[in-house]
Amino acid sequence: MGGHVHVAGVAGVGMSALAQALRWSHDRVTGSDRFHDRGQDLPIFAALRGAGIEIVPQDGSAVDAQTTAVVYSTAIEDQNPDFAAARRAGVPLKHRAAVLAELARGQTLLAVAGTAGKTTTAGMLGWVLEQLGADPTVINGGALVDWAQARNVGNVRRGGVGAPWVVEVDESDRSLLNFHPEWSILTNISQDHFTLAEVQDLFRQYAARVRTGLVCGAGVAPALGPQPARIIEALAQPEWIGNGYEIAWRGCRLAVSPPGAHNALNALLAAELCAQLGFAPDRIAEALARFGGIQRRLERVAAGGPVRVVDDYAHNPAKIAAAWAAVAAPGNRVLGIWRPHGFGPLRTMLEPLANAFANVCRAQDQLWLLPVFDAGGTADRSINSGTLAARLEARGVFVATAPDYEWLGATLAATARAGDTILLMGARDPYLPVFARAMAERTAPTQQPGNH
C-alpha cells in the first residue's frame, strides 16, 4: 500500500474521482476543500466519506513528513495552505493528471477526449462494457445516475484485474498529454479554453500518443491530419423518432434516454469503440438503451411537477447551445441560469459565448448570469458577468445579472410558471446541483391538507 496521500480541492468532479481511485492503493487518503471549511456540507462529502476518504480542513494540518504526495488540479491556487505545508515537509506536489496516468500505467487504457461530450461518452462506454461483462475500471468526470448512491459518488468503478480502464482525459489544462491510450474516442474539436488553432494543435499532439485506434466524430479527422493510429470516423445523422433521437448503426437502432441529438452522437462513438473491441452491435445497442445518464448532464432533477428543473455542466459555447436546444420545445419557456467557471475562460470565450446565447435564447426565454466562480488568487477580474450581460442586452436577449443564489432563488420562484423549464448551467461550483434541487422543491406543488 502507498501510505498517506492528500487531495486538495477534493469536491471537484475530477478530484473526487481520483481520490476514490487512490484509496485502492493507499492506506489513507485525506481530502480538503474550501467549501467544507465554509461549513457547506455538500452531498459529495458524505459520499466521499462512504468511500473511505477523510475530509479535513484546508489549512495544511493533514500534511506532514509521512505524507507521500499532495495531489492538486489546475484550479488550485499556488498560495493554498496545503501547498505551503507540503513544501515545509518536503512532500512532492503532483498534478491530478500525472497521478491518474501513473495509476493507469500498464493497463489497457481506453481514453475519452474532446471539447464537449467526453464525460457522457466515457460514462456510456463504461456502462456498456460493464453490461457486456467486461468488468472495466472507470474513472470519469461525472457520476453515472445508475451508479450513484448516498455513499457512492458514482464517477468511479473498480474493475477486475486485466480488464480495460475507461478514463476521461482533459484538454483544458493540456493534461491529456500525460496519457498514451491503446484506444481513444475524440468527440469533437471546438474553441474552449484556448483559441481554435491551439485546441487543434493540442489534439493533434494527443492523437499521436494513441497506440491502436481513434474513434472520432464528424470533422475531427481532417483537423488531426495523418496519425500513427488508425482513425475511424463514426458518421451518422440523428433522426427524431417519437420522443427522442435515434441513429441507424451497423444494422441496429441506437437510442439513449438522455435528450438531444448530441447525446445520440455520443452514443454512436461509444458504440463504435465497443464494436471495434469485438462486441456484437445488437448487444451494444441493448446496453445503451438501458443507460440512465450522467449527473449534471441534462439531468432532470425532479419529475412530476409543473416546472421542469434541469441541471447541466455546460460551460462553453458549444455545450451551452446543445443544452439549451435539448430542453427548448415549441411553446415552452426556458429560464436559463449560467455561472461562468473562471475569469480567464470568460475573457477568452466572451464573443463566442455572446453568439451562443444570442442564437439560442428565444423571445419568450429569460437568462440570468451568476457572478463568475472565483477561485481566488491573482486572476484579472476586469471582465465579468456584467460584461457578457451588456453584450447580450445589445443583441435583444432578455438577460439579468444575479448578485447571489438567495436573490436568484426568490426571483425564479416568483417568475416560473407551469410548463417552464429551469435550466441550470455551469462548471466547478459544487453548489450548482444543490441549488438545482432547492429550486425543484420550491417549484413543486404544495401538498394540500388531507391529500395523500
Which residue in this structure is represented by grid cell 468527440? Answer: 187
Q: What is the pLDDT of residue 446?
A: 64
In a domain, 174, yes or no: yes
Q: What is the pLDDT of residue 377?
A: 66
Q: Would the pLDDT of 248 be above 70? A: yes
The cell numbers describing 389, all together, are 450581460
Q: Do 114 and 216 reside in the same domain of the chain? A: yes
Choose the final residue of a domain: 99, 130, 151: 99
Does some domain include residue 310? yes
3-state SS class at 176 = helix
pLDDT digits (tens, 9 = 90+) for 43-58: 889 999 999 999 999 9
CA-CA distance, 425 to 360, in Å (whole number)?
Answer: 14
331 Cα distance to chain centroid = 30
Which range among 265-274, 305-314, 395-404 shows the weakest confidence by mean pLDDT?
Answer: 305-314
CA distance 323 to 314: 7
Q: Is residue 294 part of a domain?
A: no
Per-residue pLDDT, 450: 47
449 domain residue, yes or no = no
Query: Is 195 found in the same domain as 311?
Result: no
Task: Report how many domains make up the chain.
Answer: 3
Instruction: Report the distance separating Cα 322 and Cα 187, nearest Å.
Output: 14
* pLDDT for 448: 44
Q: Which pLDDT does position 354 carry in this prediction? A: 96
pLDDT for position 193? 61
pLDDT bucket at 82, cuts 50 / 70 / 90 = very high
Domain boundary among 267, 289, 311: 289
Domain at 137, CATH number = 3.40.1190.10
Residue type, 358: A
Q: Indicate whether 240 and 154 sit together in one domain.
A: yes
Query: Does 447 reside within a domain?
Result: no
Q: Specify if 448 maps to a domain.
A: no
The closest of 264, 288, 249 to 187, measured between CA atoms, is 264
Q: What is the mean pLDDT of residues 277-303?
A: 92
Residue 451's pLDDT is 44
Alpha-carbon gap, residue 393 to 388, rounded angstroms: 9
Residue 452, pLDDT score: 41
For residue 133, the enclosing domain spans 107-289
| Range in 169-183, 199-213, 217-231 with the lowest mean pLDDT | 169-183
Element spanning 411, H or E: helix 405-415
Distance CA(242)–CA(223), nearest Å, equals 35
In a domain, 452, yes or no: no
Is residue 333 located within the same domain as residue 259?
Answer: no
Same domain for 83 and 176: no
CATH number at residue 42: 3.40.50.720
Residue 114: which region, alpha, beta or left (left: phi > 0; alpha: psi -120 to 50)?
left
- Residues 85 and 119 occupy one common structural domain: no
| 315 and 260 assigned to the same domain | no
Instruction: Please give the torsion angle defined by the CA atoms of residues 312, 307, 336 and 440, in that order, rounded to the nearest 10 degrees.
Output: -50
Q: Give the CA angle between residues 43, 167, 26 to the nearest 5°.
A: 65
Q: Is the pLDDT of residue 447 over 70?
A: no
- Which of 68, 99, 130 terminates a domain? The answer is 99
Q: Is residue 54 a contact partner of residue 30, using CB atoms and an 8 Å limit?
A: yes
Q: Per-residue DSSP letters for 312-363?
A: E---SHHHHHHHHHHH--TT-EEEEEEE-S-HHHHHHTHHHHHHHHHHH--T
Q: Is the pLDDT of residue 34 over 90?
A: no
State residue 302's pLDDT score.
74
Domain co-membership, 89 together with 120 = no
Beta strand 252-255 with 244-249 is antiparallel
Confirm whether 450 is domain-assigned.
no
- 320 and 284 co-located in one domain: no
DSSP 409: H
What span, in angstroms and rounded, lies between the C-alpha atoms of 246 and 239? 5
Mean pLDDT of the chain: 91
Q: Are residues 400 and 334 in the same domain?
A: yes
Is residue 163 located within the same domain as residue 265?
yes
One domain for residues 156 and 39: no
Give percent of the chain above pLDDT 70: 96
Residue 302 vs residues 20, 79, 194: alpha-carbon distances, Å: 28, 40, 36
The CATH number given to whatever domain includes residue 375 is 3.90.190.20
Tell me, yes or no, if the pTM score tops 0.95. Answer: no
* Per-residue three-class SS string for 255-266: ECCCCCHHHHHH
Burial pattern 350-367, b for ≥16 Cβ within 10 A else e, equals: eebbbebbeebbeeebbb
Which CB contacts under 8 angstroms, 24+ apart, belong to 84-92?
84/60, 85/60, 85/61, 86/6, 86/60, 89/63, 89/64, 89/65, 90/65, 91/63, 91/64, 91/65, 91/67, 92/68
